[in-house]
Structures are given as C-alpha cells and as structure tokens.
Structure 1
Amino acid sequence: MALSGDNDFVVVANRLPVDLTTDADGARTWTPSPGGLVAALSPVLERFSGCWVGWPGVADTAPEPFRTESGVLLHPVELTATDYELFYEGFSNATLWPLYHDLIVTPVYDREWWDAYRDVNERFAAAVAEVAAEGATVWVQDYQLQLVPGILRQTRPDLTIGFFLHIPFPSADLFRQLPWREETVRGLLGADLIGFHLESNVANFLDLVRKVAGPGGSHIGQPDSLIVEGTPATRRVGARITAADGRSVGVGAFPISIDMDSLGESDPATVDKLRGEIGDPETVLLGVDRLDYTKGILQRLLAFEELLEAGALDPAEVVLVQVATPSRERIAHYQHARSQVEEAVGRINGRFAAIGRPVVHYLHRSLPKQTLHHYYALADVMLVTPFKDGMNLVAKEYVACHGDGSGSLVLSEFAGAAAELDRAHLCNPFDLESLKRAVVNAVRGLEHDPQTLHERMLAMHEQVATHDVRLWARSFLRCLGTLDDASVDESRA
C-alpha cells in the first residue's frame, strides 16, 4: 500500500494527533491520540482513504509516515526549534492570537516571524500536495495555516479546499493593523469554503474583504446564499465571494461542538470521593482552562474573593476548584498571567481558608479526560468566563455531563458558546459586578429555584446533544461538496 499520493481526503492541522512516549530504556514510540476533531473526521478519513498532515509536537524530530489501525495515514511535517520559536510562539501566538482576541494584549508585528510563518505554511502545503490524490478534498485547520489554501490553489488547482478557523475572527478595523493583511486574506481566499464559529465572525471577514480586496478584487455575493445544515433555513449564515480568479468562495458559520460518545459515564463513588477530598463542601465551583490571558481566570478569582469578603459566599460552605493547564509557558504574557493567578490563589487562601481546608484548590497541570469528567460531575457551578473565545468546549462538556439537569453554568457573553448556551447565567467578565451577580445567582438558584435551573440545564443539554461535533463536520463537508454524493452514515460523520 502506498503511503502517499493516493489520499482522496486530507486534513492538515498544526498538530498531528499523536503522542510521543519514551520507555525506560530510551526507546521512543509514536501513538495516535484521538480527540474531538479526530472523532469527527475519522469516518470520512477512513472512507476516503484519508491522510492527516501535521507537526508531531516535538522539535527537530518526526516519525516516518504511518497508518493507524483504521487505515488513516499520519504524515508528519518536521519543525525545527527555530521554527517553533518564530512560527509558533512568535507569529502564531504573539501576533495572530492577541490580534484575533481583540487586542487583550498588544500584538507584536515582527518581519522575521512573518517570514517564518510563510515558510512553514509553504512546507505544510508541499506536504499536502505530496499526499493528495488528483481531485482530492483538503480541509485546512486554524490560524497557524492561513496561507496554505492560497499556496495550494497555485500548486494544485485540482484540489477542493476548505478552511476552518477555530478561534474568533476580529473586526476589519482591528485586522487591518496586520502589516501582511493582504497576503493573509489572499491565502484564505484560496479555499473553496471558509468556516467560522459565529455569524459575527463571518460578518467581520466579509467586511474585511470589502476593505482589503480593492478595485478588481473580490466581491460579495448574496448574504443568504449559503445555508448551513443544523441551523434554521431562515437565518443568514453565510455568503458567496467571487475571488479575483473568478472562483466562488463560500463563507459560513459552523459552530463546532464536542464528541458526546467520548465523555462516558462518571462514577458516583469517585465523585463522592473527590468531594470528600476537598472538604465535603455544600457547593463546588469549578474552572477548567488553559492558563491563557484570554480565559479571565484572574478576574474569576477576584470576583470570588470579593464575594467571600462581602459575606455573599461562606468559605465554610463553598470551594473553588481551578484547573489551569500549562500553556505556552515561554511567552512573557503567559508567564505574567500565571504569576497573577497564583498570587491571587495564595492571597485568597491566606485570607479565607482554614488549616487543612483551602477555599481555592488550584491545579497547574493537565488532567486525564476521565478525571476531568469526574470534576465536571462534581461541580455544582461551572465558571467559564473568558474575555474572548472562539467557542469554548469546556462549557459544552460540562453541560453534556449533566444530562439529569443538575448543576449550573456561569458563562461569559464573549465566549462563542454563549450563542447556543443562552440559558446559562451570562456575564460580562470585564465587569466584576456582572461576574459576581452571575455567580451568586447560580449558587443561590441551586437552593432557592432548583426547578428553573433544572429546566435551563436540560434545554442546554438537548442543544449540545443534537448539535455535536459530527454535525459540525458533516455540515461543513456538505457545503464544501465532499459529502454530496457520499453514503456516509448519518450517525457517524
């Protein structure tokens, strides 16, 4: 069986879904690491002799291409330590990430970073061109690879190309700060279909194209000409752009979701044990985030501190569990965010905890997925309060783990998930009073109005259950044209 050149469906993402494990004797093994995106795309990858192109996550080394047990080809793109520093930590996460998150911190516009970004995108595109069969479908994922569609359009015009952005897309006025804005837009317009989470992201991109394309460039088609499966047909969820080369480029909103099947069932005995380990409080508040300055973890802690100080929450009855997964720890803004969060945790415990009974339980490490599910089941109130988020799947995972209608969700109105989970206690995380009100309403509602909370959680659970990650993948690929004639099982893709 050939390992390249015969793949009819290719997914390309910054990361390859593999983990590197090192044995005691030093032997290294690469093993597939399924996640939500993998679960959504596996049926299509398997049916269409698929391939996944990506970086394996370790600098200066990569395995040879290999197939998973289900026959999906994993094709690595090797990145050097310099590539990682300039392309990933630099342009992707110190330029694009803050720009796309509405300048929560100031982006850095560095020409050397841009050169590295363009070079790495060219290498990813070359890898895709190598493995893709004639007329194949290629689905490019996320902000690290925005130039890949345009490069592929030049080198492999036979391909059908989709692109999906997993983070927010900013307003045109903010995006136009980017010195390489025209090149980035041209890269994206190499796709046949560009997907975002929200209609507001679509509107921002369309506005940008109007302002950046210029005379003789692209123009916008009818705003209701792209209907996305899973949304009411009356809603305007997309548009068609005529690119400079005459192609029709679709732009649409495809809100991503979770793989419900991967959540499993929580073990009540384990959940009870966890509650006992944190002092058996009446109420458990939970935050689960990457330790990222966009997630609003510090503001969440400050709101909690003020509620304890005012007596609105009793430290003898309530605890906050904050899981903060390490993230991009060599970047200065992330180091500062961690320092502020850990200082606040120490101060709050110093003021309000009893000996052997912290009021904030703080974990700065990754937890296994099943352990996280037990924490979701444990939590009476989930706090998801980012300043800006493309979607936020933690909110959906929490709701999915409460199919019995228990629990309560405090959710930032600036998380993409708020568009679908509008029965949550919505708040403005920039406003501590708004955040405090949402927390108090959620906690008090557990005691004083449990029926209303029950109904709200059940409604949100139904939304998540019926709009899962498979619907997201299916709706995008149908709009792209990949699934028009394919007999893919409705329950799997």
Structure 2
Amino acid sequence: MKPETDSEADPIFDTTYDMVVVSNRLPVDYVGGDGADTRWKVSPGGLVTALEPVMRANEGAWVGWAGVADREFDPFEHDGISIVPVPLSEDELEEYYEGFSNDTLWPLYHDVIAPPSFHREWWDAYVRVNRRFAETAARVAAPGAVVWVQDYQLQLVPRMLRESRPDLVIGFFNHIPFPAYGIYSQLPWRRQVIDGLLGADVIGFQRAADAGNFSRAVRRLFGYKTRGTVLEVPGADGEMRHVVARHFPISIDAAAFEELARTPEVQQRAREIRRSLGDPEVVMLGVDRLDYTKGIRHRMKAFGELLRDERLSVQQATLVQVASPSRERVETYRQLRDEIELMVGRLNGDHAALGHPAITYLHHGYPRQEMAALYLAADVMLVTALRDGMNLVAKEYVASRYDDDGVLLLSEFTGASDELRQAVLVNPHDIEGLKDAMVEAVNMPPRERARRMRALRRRVIENDVANWSATFLETLTGVGKIPGGVSDALRGAVSRLAQTPRLLVALDFDGTLAPLVDRPEDARATDRARAAIERMSEHEDTRVALVSGRALDSLKEVASPPSPRC
C-alpha cells in the first residue's frame, strides 16, 4: 500500500493499494454498532476463502457493499485486509441487485431455467451502481495496480476502469455460467455488457465452454478476431489490445476441510447425526442455496418415486436436504420455497415411518464445522444442479472424505463435472436415469467407492483454491498485458529447435492458421500463415502437417495451402 499523493483526493481514501479486489459483497458482514464500536464478522463463502490469503500477502484492499442498505461506512481494517465499503440505497438494492442482477442476468445466464425480466430502469440502476464501484476502485488503486473484479453483478466495471485508469492491470472472473449466443442475444443491452467485460486484460470463466460462448458472442457482436483464448480488441489509442478469455475452474481450501473432518468433535457429531435419523443403512445428502437452478425438485421427485416403487425404503435410505435461504424478496424464490416445502410434506406423509423420516428438510445455513459433520455422515452426496458455474459443495464433500468412502452423484451440467469425472455423472432432467444412478450409488461396493473417491480427492487436493487464484493472477500479471518482442525462454526453445536435424511441424487449422468463425465453412488460413507454411516447406529437413477434426474434403477447401509437403 502507498500513501495517497494527489492533494485533491478524497480524504477518506488516504491510502492506495497495489492489489484491489472488487465484488458485490465485502468479505465481512455488518453485525452492529456505530463508529468505533462497529462490529463485523467474516462472511462465509468460497470467494472469501479463496482471496483472503492473497489479500493479506499483498496488503490489498477489498471494495464492496457492506450488506446494509442506506448506510455508509468509512474504510477500515479487518483481519489484515483493508475494507472499502460502497453504499447502496434500498432502491438500488431492489433494481440493481434483486432486479437486473438476479431477475435478469441470473436466469438468462443459467439457460433460462426461469424466464428473465427486462426492465430499462433496472438497467439504468445497474449502470449507475457499476460506475460507483469503478470510481471507488479507481480512487484506491495505486499506479499500475492489479484490480480483480468479481462476478456478474459488476460486468461494466472493467471498461469503466479502463477509461478512467488505463495504467491498471484489470482482471474479471465470472463465477456463473456464460450462455450460448442464442440465449445471450436476448439481452437488450448485450453489446454494452460485452464491451464492459472487454475492458479487462484477462476474463476468467469456470468452464472452457463458457469461455467459448463468450468469444463467439464477441465475434458476432463486434467482429473482433479471436485466436484461441486471445481476443484482439481495438484500444482507445488505436493500438490493438490483447484480451485473454479462458477458463480457470475455482476450487476450495481442501486441506482445511480435511483437517476439520479429522477432528474428534466433527466425527462424533457425524455419528450423532446418523443416530438422529434412525440409523438408516444409507444417508443421502443435498446441500444447496434454495435456488431453481439447483435441481432440488428433481432429486426429491426421483427419491419419492424410488420409495413409491419400493426400490428403496425409509428403513434403508433417508434424504437430508439443507436449503439455505436465498433472495427471499424475489417472488420466484418465494414460490420455489413453497413448492419444495409442499413436496417435503407430501413425501413424508406418504412414506415416513416413526423414527424413519423420508426427508429431513432444513431451511437454514450451517457453520463449516456442522457441514463437515454432515459430509462425513452422508453415504451419498446428491448434486443435481440443472446449471451451475462450478458447485463447490461437490468439492467440499470430496475434501471431507479423508476415509476414501462415500459416493458423489454429480450433474453433468455443473462446472465440477469437467474435473470430477470419477463421480456418478447424471442428467438431472432424466428422472429415470437419475433414479437408476441413485440406486447405483446406494448399492456401490466398498472397493468401487474407495477407488472413485481416491481419484476424486487427488483432483480436488491438487487443484485447490490457492492454485486457482495463483493461476489467474499469474495469467493476469504475466499474460494479461502481452509484452512485445520475444522472451528469453521462447528464444531458447526456438534455438534448440533450429539445431534439430529433422523437424515435423504439426499445425492446428481452426484457431491457429485460421481465426475462429461462427460458420466453419467460412474459415480461411490467413495470408501470413500461408506464407509461413510456404517458407517452412522450402526446407528439405522440415515437414509440415495440418491437424484438424474436419473431413479431408472440408480441410482441402478451406485451407488451400500452397502445396506444402504434408
């Protein structure tokens, strides 16, 4: 951190920082009090866990809303992190957050599982609040600082920062999915949002498919060239900027969850949980925010039909559903709660026995220690999201199972399914397939459970949250602003290749020799690529090969190389 040198700067912001994180919510929640007696507590959640170590190591500042409407707080220090609150009014909370963020963007970005609403006054509030966040971040960022903007509520901030502070290195990470263009194109402000994101140097997504959807939207709306994960974006000064758009799957503090699960207190609590449920043979567990994207209704429907058809019994298996409250001022979420609670009542009325509930439904959140006990008590973890950017609950379950036991049943529509391939993968829309997978999980032999869980744990431990943040920041600070010239490492690699007696150069066509386009038949190798192939082909000790998944006739048509020896 550095003392503020601008004599006209706001006196509240008397310090600037080399590392600034900007998110809708601060990493702390307001507890109570005023002035010097104001009390705060650390917020639960994956993002806070992910970034706390980075912020402390860099003495960074965190810009965000304090969670209390119509209330302003001065910047303060909390547990080694500088906190810079951004105020929101009650009207802005209703229009920017509950409205545009959660009733327009959230359903749109989750494949329109629920219909999005489009209101111009919500958009105006979104722009206004994004500008306030950007202005606050610009005031506390030191010259050349790294600013990392988080999530869909603040998609306009990167461009606003770029315009006011072109010296900054700006990253953006999208924690939720990014939809295919056919869905995204419904947004009336589709160009403004994409333009806002393109103010960043690096734009991170949970899945490679999300990054691909974003790149296609850029090509369709702006016509900018994309080469692999690099987008060519014209700068305000006429120079071409290179923006990296790729996936950086987020994770958890796996070691902390395992350490917690190994404590005697948590293990004892896990045994108490099973006894309180009637000591069934199998405990199934679902842990979600109460959200229509999580597939809670689908898993309850499947479980109820298994009980109805007597493929399972309440003496054999019970389902524990933790559904933490979420956005209860939004009508869609109030209706969802009513539907879920009605389903729970019907299933218990139809199938429960004394001492053996069919479903234990818990509509509140729990501290991490209680969650670790629930994970240890559960034989089968049900993650049946209809669409999810990642789903960290799946990773928390795996990290907690130090005993190499338990089965993870995982929706293929979660980002976690790209990494956790040893889970039992399901399509939650296929109720019959979901039922079969639940029975498979219940009856899985111990040796198979252990084999799968060991593989899952290796993946989660190797790719923990520290690796996620380090990989993103390394890309942002090392690649975000691509330096000119040839690096020493690349120069050395080229020198070694030049000394090789015979050389085979294998070149991918789409995205390497030819820019990615929306219509594959329109792809053409660039003049520079063709010239390079021709020069390489002139050397007797060099062979050139084109690598492609295209049919040979298609490749011949679009490549038209100047007769390289392939």
TM-score w.r.t. the length of structure 2 is: 0.79
Could you list the per-position Cα deviations for residues 59-87 of structure 1 after superposition, in whole angstroms to 9, with x for gaps in the alignment? 111432111232x2100001011111000
Partner of 1:50: 60
Aligned AA for 1:469?
V
Deviates further, 268-277 or 74-83:
268-277
Partner of 2:116: 107
Partner of 1:96: 105
Among residues 131, 146, 161, which one is paired with 1:152 in the alignment? 161
CA distance in 2: counterparts of 1:141 and 1:362, whole angstroms? 32
Among residues 21, 25, 28, which one is paired with 1:15 in the alignment? 25
- Offset of 1:343 from its aligned partner? 0.6
Deviates further, 41-50 or 85-94:
41-50
Partner of 2:432: 433
Partner of 1:81: 90
- Offset of 1:359 from its aligned partner? 1.4
CA distance in 2: counterparts of 1:351 and 1:34, whole angstroms? 36
Could you list the per-position Cα deviations for residues 178-226 of structure 1 after superposition, in whole angstroms to 9, with x for gaps in the alignment? 0001100100000000000111111101111110014xxx2212x1xxx
CA distance in 1: counterparts of 2:53 and 2:312, whole angstroms? 48
> Could you say what secondary structure the match of 1:243 adopts?
strand
Asked whether the 8 Å contact 2:16–2:139 carries over to 1, the reply is: no
- Offset of 1:260 from its aligned partner? 1.7
Q: 1:116 to 1:317 in 2, by over 3 A?
A: same
CA distance in 2: counterparts of 1:28 and 1:294, whole angstroms? 36
Count of residue pairs the alignment pairs up: 458
Asked whether the 8 Å contact 1:6–1:49 carries over to 2, the reply is: no
Partner of 1:40: 50
Aligned AA for 1:15?
R
Could you list the per-position Cα deviations for residues 98-120 of structure 1 after superposition, in whole angstroms to 9, with x for gaps in the alignment? 00000001111110000000000
- Offset of 1:34 from its aligned partner? 6.1
Q: 1 or 2 for the larger relative contact order (CA 8 Å, sep ≥6)?
A: 1
Aligned AA for 1:258?
I
Partner of 1:451: 447
CA distance in 2: counterparts of 1:125 and 1:11, whole angstroms? 11
Among residues 33, 40, 48, which one is paired with 1:30 in the alignment? 40
CA distance in 2: counterparts of 1:364 and 1:139, whole angstroms? 33
Q: Please, which runs of 5 or more residues in structure 2 have no aligned partner?
A: 4-12, 481-566
Q: 1:324 to 1:172 in 2, by over 3 A?
A: same
Asked whether the 8 Å contact 2:285–2:378 carries over to 1, the reply is: yes
**Are 1:183 and 2:210 matched, yes or no?**
no
Aligned AA for 1:309?
R
- Offset of 1:358 from its aligned partner? 1.7
**Are 1:248 and 2:242 matched, yes or no?**
yes
Partner of 1:325: 324
CA distance in 2: counterparts of 1:44 and 1:348, whole angstroms? 46
> Could you say what secondary structure the match of 2:457 adopts?
helix
Partner of 1:461: 457
Asked whether the 8 Å contact 1:37–1:469 carries over to 2, the reply is: no
Q: 1:204 to 1:84 in 2, by over 3 A?
A: same
Once the two structures are superposed, the pairs formed by residues 147-296 of structure 1 within 5 Å of their partners are 147-214=156-223, 218-221=224-227, 223=228, 239-245=229-235, 246-263=240-257, 264-266=259-261, 267-296=266-295
Q: 1:117 to 1:358 in 2, by over 3 A?
A: same
CA distance in 2: counterparts of 1:36 and 1:330, whole angstroms? 24
Could you list the per-position Cα deviations for residues 114-134 of structure 1 after superposition, in whole angstroms to 9, with x for gaps in the alignment? 000000000000000110001
Could you list the per-position Cα deviations for residues 382-402 of structure 1 after superposition, in whole angstroms to 9, with x for gaps in the alignment? 000000000000000001111
Aligned AA for 2:29?
D
Q: 1:348 to 1:452 in 2, by over 3 A?
A: same
- Offset of 1:464 from its aligned partner? 0.2
CA distance in 2: counterparts of 1:43 and 1:327, whole angstroms? 27
CA distance in 2: counterparts of 1:97 and 1:376, whole angstroms? 28
CA distance in 2: counterparts of 1:68 and 1:483, whole angstroms? 32
> Could you say what secondary structure the match of 1:103 adopts?
coil
Partner of 1:470: 466
CA distance in 2: counterparts of 1:37 and 1:92, whole angstroms? 18
CA distance in 2: counterparts of 1:274 and 1:208, whole angstroms? 48
CA distance in 2: counterparts of 1:206 and 1:39, whole angstroms? 29
Aligned AA for 2:57?
R
Could you list the per-position Cα deviations for residues 148-192 of structure 1 after superposition, in whole angstroms to 9, with x for gaps in the alignment? 000000001110000000000000111111000110010000000
Asked whether the 8 Å contact 2:314–2:356 carries over to 1, the reply is: no
Asked whether the 8 Å contact 1:45–1:51 carries over to 2, the reply is: yes
CA distance in 2: counterparts of 1:32 and 1:308, whole angstroms? 42
Deviates further, 330-339 or 169-178:
330-339
Partner of 2:358: 359
Asked whether the 8 Å contact 2:32–2:40 carries over to 1, the reply is: no
CA distance in 1: counterparts of 2:165 and 2:479, whole angstroms? 21
Asked whether the 8 Å contact 1:474–1:483 carries over to 2, the reply is: no
Could you list the per-position Cα deviations for residues 206-251 of structure 1 after superposition, in whole angstroms to 9, with x for gaps in the alignment? 111110014xxx2212x1xxxxxxxxxxxxxxx1111121211011
Q: 1:285 to 1:181 in 2, by over 3 A?
A: same
Aligned AA for 1:240?
V
Q: 1:455 to 1:356 in 2, by over 3 A?
A: closer
Q: 1:481 to 1:426 in 2, by over 3 A?
A: same
Asked whether the 8 Å contact 1:139–1:162 carries over to 2, the reply is: yes
Once the two structures are superposed, the pairs formed by residues 103-142 of structure 1 within 5 Å of their partners are 103-142=112-151
- Offset of 1:316 from its aligned partner? 1.4
> Could you say what secondary structure the match of 2:170 adopts?
strand
**Sequence identity (%):** 50
**Considering only CA atoms, is the larger Rg found in Structure 1 or Structure 2?**
2
Could you list the per-position Cα deviations for residues 331-356 of structure 1 after superposition, in whole angstroms to 9, with x for gaps in the alignment? 11111111111111000000011134
Q: 1:30 to 1:324 in 2, by over 3 A?
A: same
Among residues 467, 470, 476, which one is paired with 1:480 in the alignment? 476
Partner of 2:73: 63
Asked whether the 8 Å contact 1:87–1:116 carries over to 2, the reply is: yes
> Could you say what secondary structure the match of 2:163 adopts?
helix
Deviates further, 352-361 or 417-426:
352-361
CA distance in 2: counterparts of 1:482 and 1:49, whole angstroms? 20
Asked whether the 8 Å contact 1:477–1:483 carries over to 2, the reply is: no
> Could you say what secondary structure the match of 1:84 adopts?
helix
- Offset of 1:4 from its aligned partner? 4.3
- Offset of 1:28 from its aligned partner? 4.6
Q: Please, which runs of 5 or more residues in structure 1 have no aligned partner?
A: 224-238, 485-493
Asked whether the 8 Å contact 1:408–1:457 carries over to 2, the reply is: yes
Partner of 1:488: none
CA distance in 1: counterparts of 2:44 and 2:282, whole angstroms? 33
- Offset of 1:39 from its aligned partner? 3.4
> Could you say what secondary structure the match of 2:260 adopts?
coil
Asked whether the 8 Å contact 2:159–2:196 carries over to 1, the reply is: yes
Could you list the per-position Cα deviations for residues 349-391 of structure 1 after superposition, in whole angstroms to 9, with x for gaps in the alignment? 0001113432110000111111011000100000000000000
CA distance in 2: counterparts of 1:62 and 1:138, whole angstroms? 23
Q: 1:285 to 1:213 in 2, by over 3 A?
A: same
Could you list the per-position Cα deviations for residues 384-432 of structure 1 after superposition, in whole angstroms to 9, with x for gaps in the alignment? 0000000000000001111221000111110110011111111111110
Q: 1:187 to 1:39 in 2, by over 3 A?
A: same
